[in-house]
Structure 1
Amino acid sequence: MQDWPLLLEADQLDDHLKAHPDDPELLILDTSSADNYHKHHVPGAIHIPPARLQRGEKPAVGKLPSQEQLEALFSEVGLTPDKHVVAYDDEGGGWAGRLIWTLDVIGHTRYSYLNGGLQAWVNEGHPVETAPATATPSNVDIHIDSTVMADIESFLKLLGNSQLAIWDARSAEEYRGEKVLAKRGGHIPGAANLDWLELMDRDRNLRLKDLSTLQSMLNERGITADKTVITHCQSHHRSGLTYLVMKLLDYPHIKAYDGSWGEWGNREDTPVNTGDEP
Structure 2
Amino acid sequence: MSESLPLFVDAETLQARLGAPDIQVVAVDSASDYANAHIPGALQITMADFTASDAPVAGLLPDDDALRDVFSDTGLRNDAHIVAYDRAGDGQAARLLYTLDAMGHSAISLLDGGLAAWHQAGLPLENGAPQAGASRFTVERQPERIADREWIKTHLDDPDTGFLDVRSAAEYAGQDVRSARGGHIPGAVSLDWNLLKGANGRLRPRSELLELVASHDVQSDREIVNYCQSHVRSSYSYLVLKYLGFDKVRGYPGAWSDWGNADDTPVSANTDDANGQ
Structure 2 partner of 1:10: 11
Query: Does structure 2 retain, via aligned residues, the 8 Å contact 1:170–1:193?
Result: yes
Output aligned runs, 1:28-177, within 5 Å: 28-177=25-174
Is the CA contact 1:184–1:266 (under 8 Å) kept in the aligned structure 2? Answer: yes
CA-atom RMSD in angstroms: 1.5
Residues in 2 aligned to 1:161 and 1:94: alpha-carbon distance in whole angstroms: 29
Q: Identical aligned pairs, as a percentage?
A: 38
Match of 2:255 among 260, 275, 278: 260
Distance apart, 1:101 and its partner CA:
1.1
Q: Deviations over 1:20-41 (max 9, x none)?
A: x3x3322111113445423211
Shift of 1:133: 4.0
Structure 2 residue matching 1:3: 3-state secondary structure: coil
AA matched with 1:146: P
C-alpha distance 197-32 of structure 1, shift in aligned 2 (>3 A): farther
Q: What secondary structure is seen at the aligned counterpart in 2 of 1:86?
A: strand
Q: Is the 8 A contact 1:96 1:113 kept in 2?
A: yes
Letter in 2 for 1:100: L
Amino acid at match of 2:154: K
The AA in structure 2 aligned to 1:170 is: R
Q: Give the length in aligned residue pairs.
A: 272
For residues 29 and 272 of structure 2, what CA distance do their matches in structure 1 show?
35
Displacement of 1:65:
1.0
**Given the alignment of the two structures, is residue 24 of structure 1 paired with residue 27 of structure 2, yes or no?**
no
Shift in Å at residue 80 of structure 1? 2.1
Normalising by the residue count of structure 2, what TM-score does the alignment of the two structures yield? Answer: 0.93
Q: Give unpaired runs (5+ residues) of structure 1.
A: none
Residue of structure 1 aligned with 2:225, choices 224, 230, 233: 230
4+ residue runs of structure 1 moved beyond 4 angstroms? none
- Equivalent residues of 1:175, 1:275 under 8 A apart: no
One of 166, 175, 196 as aligned partner of 2:193: 196
Alignment check: 8 A CA contact 1:93 1:240 kept: no
Gapped regions of structure 2 (runs ≥ 5): none
